[in-house]
Copies of this chain bind each other. A is one copy, B any other.
Amino acid sequence: MVKASICTIGDEILIGQIVDTNSSHISLALENCGVQVTRMISIPDDHADIITSLARELDSNDIVISTGGLGPTKDDITKNALAELFGAKGWKTHEGQLRIVHEILHSRGLDVLDINLKQAEVPDCCEVIENHHGTAPIMIFTRPDGHKLYSLPGVPHEALGALDEVLADIKKHFKLDSIYHKTIMVYGFAESALSQLIEPWEDSLKSLGIHLAYLPNTSTGIRLRLSLFGGEESANALKVEKALSGLREILGDNIYSEQDETLESVIGRLLRGSGKTLSAAESCTGGMISHMITTVPGSSEYYLGSVTSYAIAVKEKVLGVPSETIEANGVVSSEVAAAMAEGVRKLTGSTYAVSTTGLAGPGGDERNPEGTVWIGVSGPHGTITKRFQYHNDRKRNIERFAASALDLLRRYILNDKQ
C-alpha cells in the first residue's frame, strides 16, 4: 500500500494556541482513495528541524503532505527549508499565482504589499498547483527515488481547497490499492454498551475480512466504520451489505444514517421537499439546536426559526408557557418542555417543533442535578417529552442536549412518516 505522512509546520500548533484540523481532513481524503496514513507529526518553525523531519518522513513514506509556514507574516521559513532540502538553484515567480494574489487583494479592497508579492515566488525545482483560495501557492517537490512532498498552506480552507488537485496528482503518479469503506451512524448508546450489544455480530465480521472501527462524537453519536482492503469494489459492497443486514436487525432505528451524515443533515433530508416545516424553542441549549439546523445548506426551505427563552419571562410572554405550569413543575420539567414546543409551534405555525429545558451547569437546582434535560417534540400527532441525564461539563452537556433533541425529533418525524 502507498504510504503517506502528514506534517504540520508551525510554532502556533506546538504552543497549543490552535488546533490542527487540517491533518484529519487530509488523512480522511487520503484513506478514501487507498493511501495509508502511517503518521502525523507537528514540528516548529525551525529551519534545521523542518529539513531533518521532512527528510526522515520521506525516507519511510512514498508521500509527505506538509501544511503551514507559508503565511505572509512568517519569514517564509518553510519555503527556504524546502529549497535547501530539494537542492534548489534559485527562485522563480509563478505568474498564475501572482495574478491570483492581485485578484484576491483587489476584490477585498486591500493594497498589494511586498510581503504579498513574495508569496508567488517558489524554488526553481518545484511544480506548482495554483491556490485559488489564498495567496500562497501549493508546491510539489519530487526526490530522485520518486517520493513526493506536497507543501500546502496552513489556513484550513486554503489547504482543503487544494486537496482535490493534490489527490489527482497523487493518483497520476502512484498505483493505489482499492479500499472500501462504509459508515453507519448510530445514536443513543454509550460506546461500551454498544460494543457489548453488537459483540457477536462484530465477531462474525472477521471471517468476511471486514475491519470495524468505533468513532464516538458528542454531536453525532457513534460512527461505525466498516473497511475492506483490496479486492473488487462490487464484491466488497456485497460482503458489507450482507454484514449490515445483521446489524440493522440489532439496532433498528438507532441507526440514523448509512452515510457519513450528521443528525441535522438527516432531518434536512426527511423534511426537504415534504412541505413540512420546523421550529425550535431552546432554553439550556441556548441557540445551539438552531445553529446546528442552519449549518445545513438549504435549511431555509423547511426551517422557520426559533426562540431562545433563557429568561422565564421570555418563556411566558413569547412562548406562552403558563406561569402556573412553571410554578407547579419547575422550569426543568416535562410540562414546561411540552409547553415550550407547543408554544413555538403555534407562534411560527410550523409542522414540527423541538424544545429543551435543563441545567447545563455548573450546578443544579433544588429539583434536578446538573446535566438534566427535558426535551419536547410537538407535531401533528401530539407532543412527546423525554428526560436525559448527562455527566459532563457545561460545553459538552450543551452539545449532548442538542444532539439528543435532534435525535428525538428525527424519531418523531420518522414515526410520523410511517
Contacts and interface: CB of A to CB of B under 8 A. Distances in A.
Interface string A1-45: 000000000011111111111011111111100000111111110
Interface residues of A, number: 91
25 contacts: A11-B213, A12-B214, A15-B225, A16-B25, A16-B29, A17-B213, A20-B24, A39-B43, A71-B191, A108-B190, A108-B391, A113-B196, A282-B290, A287-B291, A287-B293, A288-B291, A290-B291, A291-B291, A291-B398, A294-B308, A295-B398, A297-B362, A304-B311, A305-B307, A305-B318
A217 interface: yes
A313 to B, nearest CB: 7
Provide the main secondary structure of the chain A interface.
mixed
Interface string A251-290: 0000000000000000000000000000010100111111
B40 A44 contact: no
Contacts of A43: 39
A250 interface: no
Given A14-B37, A15-B28, 9 more contacts: A14-B27, A16-B23, A286-B291, A288-B291, A290-B308, A291-B291, A303-B310, A307-B307, A313-B349
Contacts of A21: 19
A251 to B, nearest CB: 16
Contacts of A25: 16
A195 B15 CA distance: 20
B318 A306 contact: no
Interface of A: 11-21, 23-31, 37-44, 53, 71-73, 107-108, 110, 113, 115-116, 157, 190-193, 195-196, 213-215, 217, 223, 225, 280, 282, 285-291, 293-295, 297, 299-300, 303-311, 313-314, 317-318, 347-349, 361-362, 391-396, 398
